[in-house]
Amino acid sequence: FIYDKRDGGVNVRRIENKMGIKGSPTCELTYKDAKAELCGSRRLGLIKYVMALMNGARLGIAAQSVGVSELAYREALAYARDRKQFGKAIIEFPAVYEMLSVMKGKLDASRSLLYECARFVDMYKVYDDIAKERSLTPDERKEAKYYSRLADALTPLAKGMGSEYCNQNAYDCIQIHGGSGFMKDYACERLYRDARITSIYEGTTQLQVVAAIRHVTTGSYLNLINSYLETEVKPELQSIKERIRVLADMYAKAVEQVGKV
């Protein structure tokens, strides 16, 4: 619906007092006898408009999560290089170095998922735009459907995993700061609070699992992994590719079992 606030009928209940993202005020709006006009077509509200809105917003939160992860990693890295204990920088302790490596792995994984998902969204949206000017050919329709399905499959993964990883990275960022991380003097304390919302709004992580599960059982993710396995990789990545192949085989067997059930 489109609503003009000059017509009245809408009230702000109150500005919420939140744990984090304090730079962005949040409030509940109450509508009473508020005049509004329908925009778009009837019967498409939930399945088309709301789902499109939510998928777009989820991609946005996946991007927000990558941003939080990136800052958590940078803050932790800078502190680990600077802070000296027992005569050396704490980054030289394997326990600290390992925490940083795991943080970087989670950050890179979240970013890759985000970019790949955004690529799929771009691909099908291009066809949406073309379809406004002319009819799509059968091949184009098929490709648009293919990318739309992939975008559908990757959005809950990018949002769910990205948000959980950014929370874990914010946690480890504080850990690397030691006692100082618990104080409000460092950015990591704010980051820890700001990260928390990402796995809640625009659908909690549990709801992302609900959205992703059918792509597990129908094999969308498996097909995608198999398509990656067909691409050439640098020799130093070959061993990782082989490990992924073993996991993909296990996954294929599991999907087969689900099919039998």
Active site positions, annotated: 202
Q: Should residue 239 be labelled a site residue for ligand FAD when binding is judged by CB under 6 A?
A: no
Query: How many residues bind ligand FAD, per CB under 6 A?
Result: 11
Q: Give the C-alpha separation, 65 to 110, whole Å.
A: 8
Closer residue to ligand FAD in complex, CB, 90/170: 170
Report the C-alpha gap between 5 and 3 in whole angstroms.
6
Part of the chain binding ligand FAD (CB under 6 A), chosen from 84-92, 186-194, 201-209, 245-253: 201-209
Q: Does 3 bind ligand FAD (CB under 6 A)?
A: no
Count H helices and E strands in the chain, helices first: 7, 6
- Pick from 193, 167, 163: nearest CA to 21: 193
Name which position in 3, 18, 77, 93 contacts ligand FAD (CB under 6 A).
18
Q: Is 187 in the site for ligand FAD (CB under 6 A)?
A: no
Cβ-Cβ contacts under 8 Å for 36 (sequence gap 6 or more): 1, 2, 3
* 157 binds ligand FAD, rule: CB under 6 A: no
Q: Cα separation of 106 and 116, whole Å? A: 15
Residue 74 within binding range of ligand FAD, rule CB under 6 A: no
Nearer to ligand FAD, 189 or 202 (CB): 202
Orientation of helix 138-177 relative to helix 94-133, angle to 10°: 150
Return residues touching ligand FAD (CB under 6 A).
18, 26, 197, 200-204, 206-207, 210
